[in-house]
Structure 1
């Protein structure tokens, strides 16, 4: 992976309400401002997807990159959660649940996310005070 990318990067579906809400949640619970963000639809997101041989037009996976290692779906969510403050970091323990079970639940939510939570017409625009944490 390109060394100019941040150590902790979350790629998310920029038009998904639940995904954008998850980003806001991480921002609120990441006191060290460790996490950086990019939408899967952005130039950076598309480049990373291509570099890892992932589809560039399917945005149904949360992707977390930590020190050059890419984690998808439930594993990505849980690996990122361990860096949050408070009780949320303990959700990392859910990695003990077999990945096929975790990913089945993840896929169920991902498949229905627009129907259940809605969809934006464009990617989330960060506020000025958090804009520095977003790559484009």
Structure 2
């Protein structure tokens, strides 16, 4: 990594998935990662949490309106389809195979991503408040 400062709440080499903690689809994504990230590469962080808010602010992303998932790898930010494909590319087979979608133009990938992201509450629903990780999964989350 370059000599720029490290994002808050992270260490060099960290891989942090920021997700909307009240979105049912986003929570399903977090549970999917917990189940399929057998090597525990990724840390999860709700955008509504103190660390999530600090990371959003660090990268100049909105802190009150969440319309994309963000992924931080070794201090670098990835969003939208780039984030999803970078994450699945590090999972075990067969999920890693989905990373071949990188060959599609980013504008097309992001258009598809945006259709789902902008309608996720209507399509999948939302929780009244962020769900807390259970005791078995607490170590997978970035904490303050």
The DSSP-based 3-state class of the residue aligned with 1:70 is: strand
The DSSP-based 3-state class of the residue aligned with 2:21 is: coil
Show structure 1 runs of 5+ residues with no match. none
Show structure 2 runs of 5+ residues with no match. 1-5
Aligned 1:81-96 pairs, distance under 5 A: 81-96=88-103
Aligned residues: 136
Q: What is the CA–CA distance in structure 1 between the aligned matches of 2:63 and 2:53, rounded to whole Å? A: 6
Instruction: Compute the TM-score of the two structures, normalised by the length of structure 1.
Output: 0.95
Change (3 A) 1:125 1:3: closer
Maintained 8 Å contact 2:8/2:55: no
Instruction: Compute the TM-score of the two structures, normalised by the length of structure 2.
Output: 0.90
State the shift of 1:3 in Å: 7.1
Aligned 1:71-82 pairs, distance under 5 A: 71-82=78-89
- What do you get for the CA RMSD once the two structures are aligned? 1.2
Displacement over 3 Å in runs of 4+: none
Q: What is the CA–CA distance in structure 2 between the aligned matches of 1:4 and 1:39, rounded to whole Å? A: 13
